[in-house]
Chain A
């Protein structure tokens, strides 16, 4: 449609614009989804039914590493989009791969953490609290997993097709998704881990 030199590539076609807007609205729905998960968690937080409470099972060090990995990955995905805007295919590829590796590291830590919880006697079936905890963390983790697979597939397309109107808008949307997961994690870090360990 419009071809101002200032319009970023990913916004060039009307369909891309609609895709990006649509994705923002989808993120709105995701916010409602995570809000519901958080609200339920707050309702069930103290229903430990004789099982372990948050403070008993959380390990601060691991959580800090997870947070570091995910925050860094958000930063690298930002660098990737910056490279994309400069038509730097190689930079885009490298930073996206870095993002993926950091994401995978986060997942590895999270799976370990889950195993640790189970080892401490907190399975998803233990209590109202553990059900809400595992579901909230698990939903976030599932999103990260989905994101990793999705971005990998997009990188295959990028290698094949280069930075085009289509691939750029796809990668831009994926980066929005990735930033969103980061924001959700900040809330999890604050309201699940810190709150659980302080209280």
Chain B
């Protein structure tokens, strides 16, 4: 391995611009003559719009236009879409209510888009919005899922009179019922997976720009997948045909899922740019982000696990209600279904699983994928169940897991997934060692002497990354293919541009992708540039989410590199007057086997372009190759996280004393970047477990709509992490990569809650386990201890 090769902790190429303040995020871009948009949002959770009087706002100096849903309809601009069809148990399709970018007749959550003001500057637009008079007919709000599906509930969309988006299931009900019928022990648990706000630090932003001379649009936007945005804006919303719409996602300040989706604001900005004849810029304020970014999680679940007399799992039964909010966001429907239930087998050999999921409309912001997307929810269910089952049967939680681990691969679970590789015992053993599990008893006694309650919690997670192959996801209802594209452009001097359909918004692709190309072509890493995030440069791609960019995006690059090397051999053969079959490529040189004749990669590139040694009839000049890579399977990263906490029963404060993570991501390109991904994921998972929770009051007002009300993890809420890895290469892609982006966020919440409940000696702790929640739970512990 060289200092920049595969497996080296190469310092990031993209960092220089970020540490010097020269990054180019969407809000840093300004177009000549740009105007500014401000969205008037609904103050009500649920209301009809009887009328909108914008005359006073339009009359204000500096106001260029006030546009409403009627204007969208008049221009035949379509509604926002949900791109994954889910079918009910009876085979009928889910009920997707219309989702106009600006409300048409009704608003369905606080923050819903009522009108847009476009003005010379942002303050003028914002001031003018106050002069718009909207006559609302206020309707009852419904924020609670059980209330929404109960009798007499207010109806969010007429198409779904019982507020059920779908009533879906997966697994074999009869086999699962039979497993429970012969169980010696059944563990039952009610679980709430709390609602979160993704909170990328860069708020969403968009600039729509219209070139009247060419009848062409450009959209600058904070997107994780600009090509998907273009596809949806063109083919479904109908702004412009794809060849007349360029979407640029420049530097993007974090996404975590929330910037996958195609939202109202960018739709309106690009449409309005033509209407007002000026570029139109919008940047979210943080409270707008809280109100209108798609939220995450928000499940209520009842789960039951059947065990035999030896503590082996016989079956798992799960019933979940998933809050999808007021409208179906772009991929919302698949998150609590196909990204959730197929993960319920975890790392365990479970013969029978049956899962039922009801998707529910409420008058709250749409809910969609947030880091992990369904997999954290599934892992929370299975890892809480496993821990409680171990406790109820008096078994050590590590031993209980080992007893039930899958040991042979490939392994077909009863819920779709075929795990291809893993070694779950290895990661558990390593984690137990790193966490000094043997010494925990002493540490617990030491804490007790100081009046503190110490607990340890495990989470042995499985993840499914790189969702694919396209044909399989298509059969499950996906509206898109989930392959990735790459193009390798070799310049005549031997420098290389890599065009990728993946998008980097913190993941370091400009470094890791260059590491792969540098290692394969034997050229210096500084001779490689990674190009992404512009639909005029990269022909098509599916973007970055679901930890897919390594396993799928880099595999596409690898495939294109194979073609570059193959073409290079042909060129080298002509240049060195040798047979193509005798050309070898190694360490950046093409050589003729058995001779001392060789040419460097750059020399062959030059020969390809000057084309003096071959005719165009024999070989095309140039050196540029592309590839589309469609994987054969998901990848299955796995690992064990161990959280050790100390709870102060006097204050309810939980301190994380130690965090151990041992992950199996398959082959790793850049361990520094991978560890960084793990750190960030754990922090978000700890945030969910201890701090974060989006709360609506009964009238549908979001009462956690700023950083003063929504508790983000800060530096002193977290410990430093102890990180280790094990490696079983992924057999399903050429690089053996599994994916690492979501692991921490998936693993962390059950590890924390298992630790706190271990400390307290009972299971009555909900997320977020704030000091108030834990203090109340600790009182029960103290009463129990006093009674004993």
A and B interact physically:
no
